[in-house]
């Protein structure tokens, strides 16, 4: 099988790194009129960010703060207010994605928020991230009763040595196994996240994590590479050794051999499910997503925006009746097309009809050069619905997506350090 050479993969990743930074060069403020429902636009998903964790993992570049109960309660109130701003503007949502931080960090507030969603909106599906330490039979029952269809648990590794090296002290490997057994089979989709290419991680350790996934017959598993923002990267590298992205390919090959070739279905190049199509990433399934909560990023009809990261700035804006958006950028058509291409390739397919509906022209007219190059590299191939990523192309797309998320993490770090 011919695979794109490492050099080509590195080059493609570099192009995305460059394009990603350009894409994310947001300007302060927002034209709020652009955030009104457009006639004929498909319904957007709603992303909700809960930025609190009971412990902060040193490698993590998300917007997160150490949990303080009073602060978190105030935050949930502000979150409801922010949601109301969008509802007053005429938005309606049916699909919800809770990320963090740890959305389950304060269950009574989360429950009240979910009940509020049910009262105000025609809820169809809810996807929610959690930590193994929060998973109990009781929380599982509550979340199920409140319509959570997909629960995603951040395991990262089943190996105690790896968890310790990562600074992930919220659970041990044995506890993660126990929590998987509690949640598995209780939701339409139960996912776990596993991290790879941590400096001290060997292929053997990673292989054992994969074996555990199979042994436990987990519905869905997302393997994602370490992709910290610059400061976090330096901290990890000072403590261990250089994060070598070239090692990633060997880890990824193991995923293909052990998971993909074993019949797991890829819904993204990182996410593999045992059953048929399961719920996965909102950035692929939804052309538009409104984002609420501090440090969340949204995309609506070409407007890309980021909320205030700093909790005080976020809270002040919301309490004074304003959308808490810190910065934004109306994407030029070219950037929007490339973002669409990247996220769809991440989701394994670029669908002709969806592309035409969104951009008014065919994929070849809009992305002819990009598709020709990808085809030449045998990274994509045509099929009757559009273009699909080949097995050979999966690693190339993985590297491109890693660079895009790294650029996003860089933006997050910039905002957090700058108190934006
Ligand atoms: S990795 Fe997850 S649990 Fe750890 S600090 Fe980041 S959001 Fe919190």
Segment 260-314, tens digit of pLDDT:
999 999 999 999 999 765 566 677 788 899 999 999 999 999 999 999 999 999 9
Question: For residue 387, what are the β-bridge partners?
Answer: 350, 382
| Best residue for ligand 1 mutational test, from 52, 54, 59, 60 (most atoms within 8 Å of Cβ) | 60
In a domain, 44, yes or no: yes
How remote is the CA of residue 346 from the centroid of ligand 1, in Å? 23
How remote is the CA of residue 158 from the centroid of ligand 1, in Å? 16
Residue nearest ligand 1's atom 4 by CA: 57
pLDDT recorded at residue 107 = 98
Cβ distance 32 to 323 under 8 Å? yes
In a domain, 337, yes or no: no
Peptide bond into 75 cis (omega under 30): no
- State if residue 222 touches ligand 1 by the CB under 6 angstroms criterion: no
CATH number, domain at 274? Answer: 3.80.30.20
Q: What is the tally of structural domains in the chain? A: 1
Residue nearest ligand 1's atom 1 by CA: 60
pLDDT recorded at residue 15 = 80
Cβ distance 91 to 298 under 8 Å? no
Structure tokens at 227: 């992709």
Burial 21-31, CB ≥16 within 10 A → b, else e: eebbebeeebe
Instruction: Fill in the DSSP letter of residue 157.
Output: -
170 CA closest ligand 1 atom index: 3
Rounded to an integer, what distance in angstroms lies between the CA atom of residue 274 and that of residue 190?
10
In a domain, 355, yes or no: no
Cβ distance 415 to 409 under 8 Å? no
The domain containing residue 246 runs over which residues?
26-284
Rounded to an integer, what distance in angstroms lies between the CA atom of residue 310 and that of residue 21?
22
In a domain, 54, yes or no: yes
- State if residue 102 touches ligand 1 by the CB under 6 angstroms criterion: yes
Residue nearest ligand 1's atom 6 by CA: 60
- What backbone phi and psi angles, to 5 degrees, belong to 291? -125, 135
pLDDT recorded at residue 280 = 62
In a domain, 140, yes or no: yes
Cβ distance 245 to 402 under 8 Å? yes
How many other β-carbons are positioned within 10 Å of the β-carbon of residue 412?
21
- Tell me which residues of the chain have a pLDDT lower than 50: 1
Residue nearest ligand 1's atom 2 by CA: 101
In a domain, 53, yes or no: yes
From start to end of 210-270, where are the E strands? 220-225, 265-266
In a domain, 198, yes or no: yes
| Best residue for ligand 1 mutational test, from 100, 167, 295, 413 (most atoms within 8 Å of Cβ) | 100
How remote is the CA of residue 305 from the centroid of ligand 1, in Å? 23
In a domain, 393, yes or no: no
């Amino acid at each position: 099988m011919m695979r794109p050479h490492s050099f080509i993969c590195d080059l493609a990743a570099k192009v995305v790194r460059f394009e990603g930074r350009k894409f994310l060069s947001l300007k302060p403020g927002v034209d709020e009129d652009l955030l009104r429902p457009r006639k004929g636009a498909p319904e957007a998903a709603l992303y909700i960010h809960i930025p609190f964790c009971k412990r902060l993992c040193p490698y993590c570049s998300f917007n997160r703060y150490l949990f303080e109960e009073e602060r978190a309660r105030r935050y949930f109130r502000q979150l409801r207010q922010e949601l109301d701003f969008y509802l007053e503007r005429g938005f309606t949502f049916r699909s919800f994605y809770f990320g963090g931080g740890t959305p389950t960090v304060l269950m009574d507030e989360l429950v009240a928020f979910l009940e509020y969603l049910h009262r105000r909106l025609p809820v169809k599906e809810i996807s929610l991230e959690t930590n193994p330490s929060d998973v109990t039979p009781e929380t599982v029952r509550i979340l199920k009763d409140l319509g959570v269809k997909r629960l995603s648990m951040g395991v990262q590794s089943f190996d105690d040595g790896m968890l310790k090296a990562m600074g992930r002290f919220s659970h041990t490997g044995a506890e993660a196994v126990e929590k998987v057994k509690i949640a598995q089979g209780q939701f339409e989709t139960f996912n776990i996240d596993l991290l790879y290419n941590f400096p001290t991680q060997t292929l053997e350790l990673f292989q054992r994590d994969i074996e555990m996934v199979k042994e436990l017959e987990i519905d869905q598993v997302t393997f994602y590479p370490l992709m910290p923002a610059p400061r976090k990267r330096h901290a990890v590298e000072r403590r261990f050794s250089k994060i070598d992205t070239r090692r990633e390919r060997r880890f990824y090959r193991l995923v293909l051999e052990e998971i993909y070739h074993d019949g797991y279905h890829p819904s993204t190049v990182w996410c593999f499910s045992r059953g048929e199509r399961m719920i996965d990433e909102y950035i692929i399934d939804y052309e538009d997503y409104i984002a609420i909560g501090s440090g969340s990023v949204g995309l609506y009809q070409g407007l890309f925006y980021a909320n205030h990261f700093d909790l005080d700035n976020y809270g002040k804006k919301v309490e004074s009746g304003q959308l808490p958006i810190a910065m934004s950028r109306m994407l030029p058509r070219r950037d929007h097309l490339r973002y669409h291409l990247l996220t769809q390739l991440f989701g394994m397919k670029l669908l002709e009809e969806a592309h035409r509906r969104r951009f008014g022209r065919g994929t070849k007219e809009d992305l002819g050069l990009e598709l020709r190059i990808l085809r030449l590299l045998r990274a994509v191939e045509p099929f009757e619905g559009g273009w699909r990523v080949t097995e050979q192309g999966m690693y190339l797309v993985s590297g491109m997506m890693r660079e895009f998320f790294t650029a996003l993490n860089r933006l997050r770090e910039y905002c957090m350090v700058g108190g934006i």
